[in-house]
């Protein structure tokens, strides 16, 4: 269930409540006349099944300019009325894509922030150390820590909605993020090389992590599967599944390998690593965009209850 808080001009409260009463899956409607001060108006509270959210938000779109809409997830609802509302709503909660929620999320994930740069830089350094230590465990840890899928999902959503500005912003976030992460990791690896801690021989013996610099048909297939699973996990709110996506693709390890190979002047390893990075991002963008297309066109027809 979702909980909605609406601030509505008093003159249009009846119109808004009529929309809520007519939408299947909406219940627990409460009207507080004159309770809102900024902006001024009535406060209307209600609960809605996830499957009903797009219809409700679409019909109350005018509140963006005249009032306010706030939506939050209800973790526990002990109510027969709420249970009936979920049953009344078409489809299944896990299949519901709340497009306004997704737009807000990808918009936030498409920006370059200090937190994004810090996580990506740390993840890339962990991957570089994993490469040097021949440690798949460290590389998997770096995969989990990498935050880059948010920007990939933003590109997918931008392609779906034909939002050129969002695509450009997300691409810039990916490029800037990886350039900064690679530069920091390169600087650290270069210092280690000057101190005599590492050299090209460390890369020559890392048989267990050679998959990072060997892009092939399987790399692209894995990227396609990961991109589709990643978008599904974001739209369905399944964060545990998203962790599996992070572990599936070698974007961060490839970036770490590039930085280390450049620091020890092992130039022949640069091109395969960059190719691996590009293949993973391209595959995720293609599959993620196609998944969103399928969800928008066919998802409403899937999982409807027999009573609808």
Q: What is the pLDDT of residue 238?
A: 66
The pLDDT-based confidence of 84 (bands split at 50, 70, 90) is: confident
pLDDT at 177 over 80: yes
Among 150, 179, 155, 175, which Cα is nearest to 165's?
155
Question: What is the pLDDT averaged over residues 141-157?
Answer: 91
**3-class secondary structure, 92:** coil
Q: What is the pLDDT of residue 268?
A: 85
Which has the higher per-residue pLDDT, 307 or 136? 136
Q: What is the pLDDT of residue 304?
A: 42
Q: What percent of the chain has pLDDT over 90?
A: 53
Average pLDDT of the residues of the chain: 87
**3-class secondary structure, 46:** strand
> Alpha helix (H) ranges present in 23-162?
53-59, 63-66, 80-88, 99-109, 114-132, 136-145, 149-161
Question: What is the pLDDT averaged over residues 129-139?
Answer: 88
Q: What is the pLDDT of residue 307?
A: 34
**3-class secondary structure, 6:** strand
pLDDT digits (tens, 9 = 90+) for 208-217: 677 777 788 8
Q: What is the pLDDT of residue 75?
A: 84
How far, rounded to the nearest angstrom, does the alpha carbon of residue 268 sit from its chain's CA centroid? 34
pLDDT digits (tens, 9 = 90+) for 39-82: 999 999 999 988 888 889 999 999 998 999 999 988 888 888 88
Q: What is the pLDDT of residue 7?
A: 96
Q: What percent of the chain has pLDDT over 70?
A: 91
Among 26, 28, 27, which Cα is nearest to 51's?
26
The pLDDT-based confidence of 205 (bands split at 50, 70, 90) is: low
The pLDDT-based confidence of 305 (bands split at 50, 70, 90) is: very low
Give the number of other Cβ atoms within 10 Å of residue 10's Cβ.
Answer: 12
In contact, 28 and 10? CB cutoff 8 Å: no
pLDDT digits (tens, 9 = 90+) for 234-290: 887 666 556 666 666 788 999 999 999 999 988 888 888 899 899 999 999 999 999
Distances (CA, A) of 222 to 151, 216, 230: 19, 10, 12
How far is the C-alpha of 29 from the C-alpha of 4, rounded, in Å? 9
Distances (CA, A) of 192 to 74, 141, 175, 189: 50, 22, 26, 5
In contact, 42 and 7? CB cutoff 8 Å: yes
Q: What is the pLDDT of residue 134?
A: 84
């Amino acid at each position: 269930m979702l909980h909605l808080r609406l601030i509505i001009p008093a003159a249009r409260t009846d119109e808004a409540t009529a929309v809520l009463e007519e939408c299947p899956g909406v219940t627990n409607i409460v009207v507080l006349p004159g309770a809102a001060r900024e902006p001024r108006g009535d406060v209307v509270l209600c609960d809605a099944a996830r499957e009903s959210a797009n219809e409700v938000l679409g019909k109350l779109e005018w509140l963006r300019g005249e009032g306010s809409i706030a939506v939050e997830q209800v973790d526990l609802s002990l109510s027969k009325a709420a249970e009936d509302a979920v049953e009344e709503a078409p489809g299944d909660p896990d299949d519901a894509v709340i497009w306004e929620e997704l737009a807000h999320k990808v918009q936030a994930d498409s920006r370059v922030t200090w937190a994004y740069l810090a996580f990506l830089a740390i993840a890339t350094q962990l991957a570089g150390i994993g490469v040097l230590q021949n440690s798949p465990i460290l590389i998997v840890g770096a995969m989990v820590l990498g935050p880059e899928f948010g920007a990939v999902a933003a590109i997918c959503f931008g392609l779906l909605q034909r939002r050129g500005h969002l695509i450009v912003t997300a691409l810039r976030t990916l490029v800037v993020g990886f350039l900064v992460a690679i530069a920091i990791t390169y600087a650290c690896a270069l210092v280690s090389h000057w101190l005599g801690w590492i050299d090209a021989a460390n890369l020559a013996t890392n048989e267990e992590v050679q998959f990072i610099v060997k892009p092939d048909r399987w790399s692209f297939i894995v990227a396609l599967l990961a991109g589709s699973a990643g978008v599904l996990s974001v739209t369905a709110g399944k964060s545990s599944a998203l962790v599996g996506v992070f572990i599936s693709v070698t974007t961060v390890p490839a970036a770490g390998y590039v930085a280390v190979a450049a620091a020890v002047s092992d130039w022949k390893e640069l091109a395969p690593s960059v190719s691996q990075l590009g293949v993973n991002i391209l595959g995720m963008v293609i599959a993620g965009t196609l998944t969103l297309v399928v969800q928008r066109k066919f998802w409403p027809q899937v999982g409807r209850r027999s009573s609808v």
